[in-house]
Amino acid sequence: MPLSYLQNKQKELNQKSDFYTSGGLHVYIKEPLHDEEIDLEKVISKLESTLPEHLLSEIEMIVVGWFDEFETRDINAFYRDGALYVSNIQNDSDDIYDDLVHETAHSLESLYGHFIYADEKIKDEFLRKRKYLHDTLWAQGFKAPLSFFTDVEYNKEFDMFLYEKVGYDKLSSLMLGLFINPYAATSLQEYFATGFTEFYINPDHKFLQKISPELYKKINLLHDEETLDKYL
């Protein structure tokens, strides 16, 4: 039997196994990653070393595989009840790392939601940007009800309007200097999560600080546990 076959078989078996990280996270591979070049342990180790420990406190488990939610909600990761669920179909290590950081942001909303949103500074910043986006799109001939832009909750119809009617390529140019990316405009929670992801993926925070100063301030406070404790 060829050695390469045995090595590939061993890789497959290893990917299906459970393991625990040095930080105590339980990782379960429901289905192996399609890209065998992705070193999942290395990716999760990067997550644990980059994010402060207190920001990972809500995560007990990471599950990799394919779930119905990915198809029905057109997503490739979600957080639920202490677990991060991530698709086993990823472009590369950066892709899965981005998903893990993004969903970590959502895991913090139950624990720190009052701190993040109660003073409405992020909400006000978000709605100012939404109003500007509405006026810009209207001038470009993309007409949608103002109510789409004043609702801070996720709205599938609004998301489809941005994705299908306007197009993310067009949005990217119209949103330059306004939102981190088009998905950040879909809801207040995604505005926070995309900013959080940018904060921890890009060590140079100048871009985030410039276009979303209130969001940057809030994430910066979240980052420092001692400073955060003073606000709680």
Q: Which residue has the tokens 């644990």?
A: 48
Distances (CA, A) of 147 to 143, 144, 153, 169: 12, 8, 11, 24
SS3 85: strand
Instruction: Give the span between the Cα atoms of 149 and 63, in whole angstroms.
Output: 34
Residue 4 class from Cβ within 10 Å (0-12 exposed, 13-18 middle, 19+ buried)?
exposed
What is the predicted pLDDT for the residue at 2? 52
Question: Tell me, what's the pLDDT at 13?
Answer: 44
- 72 CB-contact burial (10 Å; exposed 0-12 / middle 13-18 / buried 19+): exposed
How far is it, in rounded angstroms, from Cα 169 to Cα 163? 9
Q: How far apart are CA 65 and CA 15, in angstroms?
A: 11
Which of 175, 220, 176 is closest to 55 using CA atoms?
A: 220
Contact of 65 with 29, CB cutoff 8 Å? yes
Q: Name residues whose C-beta falls within 8 Å of residue 198's C-beta, 6 or more positions apart in sequence.
A: 180, 207, 208
Residues of the chain with pLDDT under 70: 1-16
- Model's pTM, two decimal places? 0.89
Find, among 149, 154, 147, the residue nearest to 73 by Cα.
154
How far, in Å, are 162, 176, 194 from residue 171 at the CA level?
A: 7, 8, 16
Map tokens 């001692």 to a residue.
226
β-strand partners of 77? 86
From 206, 137, 209, 141, select the one nearest 174 (Cα to Cα).
137
pLDDT at 93: 96
Question: CA 121 to CA 125: how far, in whole Å?
Answer: 6
